[in-house]
């Protein structure tokens, strides 16, 4: 397939890498030369890592030949699928979709990797809205096994089914999101976890280290909750929280707003909740910790809401939280384990 990826940041470059690994011809666009350079450096580093670990059976150089940099949106012509992965700015995304639609065939599918904006609202930018869907990858796309496939009100069943097949073709697990709800499935749950963790710290009940100790050592998450906020980007989370709050979903964290104002944007500037200048922060086990239900209670309630509202099923939600977030158990498996009622 010929796939165009718009935006060469962490997500866009990761998505381009995944499609190239699975033998697709990839066009990668960014408006900023610096972002292209950084994106290509990330892809090369990641492919070298995968090669070292024998997780790819082709050389990085050979995979890279399938990624072509484009510097104009006119060059998306001929793509069968265009995936947008630019920052979470509604107007920016809309302007890109309008430009893309001018340059593609009638049959081209257009997808967004948005984490927080409604698919239906975004699709209104297009003349042919049934071609539009959400393909939501998780960071880092090359390692996380899940992609949410989201149906907007106008997405045709054919495009939705094709989205699911495309995700399978790149060896990821597709989770169908049947209703276009804010944050879809995984992020609705994750934003509750973030908000609960922030509240525990901002109200002075626990420290960042105590919350992350519980996340890593008691719940078995691959990263601490504040470590993950740094990893996914304080700026990204700030923009997401603003977008979802303006649409009535409460992802609220004064600690994020504060770091954002100071320019401590997480891993990318080597400072956020943690200091990343010497690499990944070391999270120690602390003697005092919040309980699992203090961290997960609101997220479990959210998972129940998703089931009651026919957005997803218990099995899908458990699978999605394991594959999308690397948790050893699904959110509703934790609920049973801790007898949360």
- 80 catalytically annotated: no
Per annotation, catalytic residue among 42, 79, 115, 213 = 115
Per annotation, catalytic residue among 42, 79, 187, 241 = 187
- 121 catalytically annotated: no
CB nearer ligand CAA, residue 76 or residue 331: 331
Calpha distance 227→211 (Å, rounded):
10
CB nearer ligand CAA, residue 76 or residue 138: 138
Half-sphere CA count of 134, side-chain side, radius 13 A: 30
CB nearer ligand CAA, residue 159 or residue 325: 325
CB nearer ligand CAA, residue 42 or residue 79: 42
Quote the distance between the C-alpha of residue 169 and its chain's center.
Answer: 19
Sign of CA dihedral 19, 21, 27, 28: positive
* Minimum gap (Å) between residue 81 Cβ and ligand CAA: 20
Which parts of this chain interact with ligand CAA (CB under 6 A)? 46, 49-50, 115, 138-140, 142-144, 187, 190, 222-223, 228, 232, 280, 324-326
- 337 catalytically annotated: no
Per annotation, catalytic residue among 17, 88, 136, 302 = 136
Calpha distance 193→168 (Å, rounded):
29
* Minimum gap (Å) between residue 134 Cβ and ligand CAA: 11
Q: Which helix (H) or strand (E) holds 300?
A: helix 292-308
Residue 93 structure tokens: 């995304």
137-155 in b/e form (b: 16+ CB < 10 A) is bbbbbbebebbbbbbbebb
* Minimum gap (Å) between residue 147 Cβ and ligand CAA: 11
* Minimum gap (Å) between residue 259 Cβ and ligand CAA: 16
- 95 catalytically annotated: no
Calpha distance 264→278 (Å, rounded):
16
Residues with catalytic function: 115, 136, 148, 187
């Amino acid at each position: 397939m010929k796939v165009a990826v718009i935006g060469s940041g962490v997500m866009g470059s990761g998505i381009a890498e995944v499609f190239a690994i699975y033998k697709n011809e990839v066009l990668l666009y960014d408006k900023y030369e610096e972002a292209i350079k950084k994106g290509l450096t990330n892809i090369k580093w990641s492919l070298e890592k995968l090669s070292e670990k024998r997780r790819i059976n082709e050389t990085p150089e050979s995979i890279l030949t399938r990624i072509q940099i484009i510097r104009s949106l006119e060059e998306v012509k001929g793509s069968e699928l265009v995936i947008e992965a630019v920052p979470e700015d509604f107007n920016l995304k809309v302007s890109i979709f309008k430009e893309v639609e001018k340059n593609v065939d009638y049959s081209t599918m257009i997808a967004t990797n948005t984490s927080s904006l409604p698919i239906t609202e975004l699709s209104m930018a297009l003349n042919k809205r049934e071609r539009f869907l959400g393909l939501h990858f998780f960071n880092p796309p090359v390692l996380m096994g899940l992609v949410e496939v989201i149906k907007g009100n106008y997405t045709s069943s054919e495009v939705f089914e094709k989205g699911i097949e495309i995700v399978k073709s790149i060896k990821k697990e597709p989770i169908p999101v049947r209703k276009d709800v804010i944050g879809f499935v995984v992020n609705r749950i994750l934003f509750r976890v973030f908000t609960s963790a922030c509240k525990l710290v901002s109200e002075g009940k626990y420290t960042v280290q105590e919350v992350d100790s519980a996340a890593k050592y008691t719940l078995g998450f691959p990263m601490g909750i504040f470590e993950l906020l740094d990893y996914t980007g304080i700026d990204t989370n700030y923009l997401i929280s603003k977008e979802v709050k303006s649409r009535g979903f409460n992802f609220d964290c004064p600690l994020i707003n504060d770091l954002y104002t100071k320019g401590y944007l997480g891993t990318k500037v080597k400072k956020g909740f943690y200091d990343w200048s010497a690499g990944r922060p070391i999270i120690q086990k602390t003697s005092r910790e919040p309980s699992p239900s203090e961290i997960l209670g609101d997220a479990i309630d959210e998972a129940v809401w998703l089931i009651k509202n026919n957005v997803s099923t218990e099995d899908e939600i458990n699978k999605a939280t394991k594959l999308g977030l690397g948790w050893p158990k699904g959110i509703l498996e934790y609920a049973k384990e801790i007898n949360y009622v």
